[in-house]
Amino acid sequence: MFNLLRMDLYRLLRSKSVYICLASLMAASVLCFWMVWLMGTPEGQETAARIGMTAIVDEGGSSQTGESGEEGVMDQSMLEEYDTLLMFREIGMDGGAYALLFGIVIALFFCSDYSSGFMKNIMSLHRRRWTYIASKLMAAAILDLCYLSIEFGFCLLLNVLFHNLVPAAPAADILFYLGLSFVVTMGFAALFLLFCTFTRNAAAGTLAVSLLSSGILVILVNYITGLFGLNQWVSYTLYYNQRYAPNAYSGFGDLKGYAVGAVFLALYAALSAVVLTRKDI
């Protein structure tokens, strides 16, 4: 399995989708910080007014109309509700953008083994097919750790470049949230692996990633089941536990996201191994 993992990591490093999706996350971070700076600081509001985007909010809280004729939507006091962790969540975690881009990389990476013909060569050398699933999930875990670390580190850097736009979050809260996000997104990775193992099609895998990571499918099913009062299941989904994850640990109940992510990770990994064993290569 070590040789499989080494090969997977080598292919990930040479994959363009890894860097394109990471660059997309970074671009979204720059845009988010820039917009908050424009709307939440006096200097930014003056700049926004000069380019006709919004109004200037003076120190007394009243608004002055800019060239666009629109009123400001954020004042400096609103920044007091933000810190670096909340900014990180707003950029891509809560809305599903991170899970979407991470999932696209995973789906393309998984399905490339079938489209390139590598799968037959791999299975001819490794009869125990569960090692293939384990290798893929370990490679996804390493990529997930790198993505989360780089993206959060980039947010910290942007905060410094924007003159400490928001205060720093406590280190304990950051570690708790990043750990929870890692477990939940790995549950997503195992789900995407299961779907790609079953369909073996990159287009279908990408479509599934879009529907599942953004919560569209969960919201739709929740609406239907809610008509019959049967929507309690939503709080046990990966999307819900990513979207509404607590910022900090305050009690045993805050570990629910860890449990949900771990259970789905183990379940989807086992199902992927079963599907791979029973289907012809």
In tens, the pLDDT along 122-149 reads: 666 656 778 888 989 999 999 999 999 9
What percent of the chain clears pLDDT 70, i.e. is strictly above it?
A: 85
pLDDT above 60 for 113: yes
What confidence score (pLDDT) does residue 123 get?
65
What confidence score (pLDDT) does residue 64 get?
44
Q: Locate 195 and state its tokens.
A: 């779907």
- Whole-number mean pLDDT of the chain? 85
* 174 in Cβ contact with 152 (< 8 Å): yes
pLDDT above 60 for 167: yes
pLDDT above 70 for 154: yes
Whether the pTM exceeds 0.95: the reply is no
Residues 6 or more apart whose Cβ sits within 8 Å of residue 26: 151, 154
Rg (CA), the chain: 22
Q: Which residue has the tokens 């989708």?
A: 17
CA-CA distance, 88 to 153, in Å (whole number)? Answer: 10
CA-CA distance, 127 to 170, in Å (whole number)? Answer: 48
Highest-pLDDT range among 50-59, 69-78, 115-124:
115-124
What confidence score (pLDDT) does residue 127 get?
64
Q: Locate 227 and state its tokens.
A: 């008509």
pLDDT above 90 for 158: yes
What confidence score (pLDDT) does residue 43 get?
84
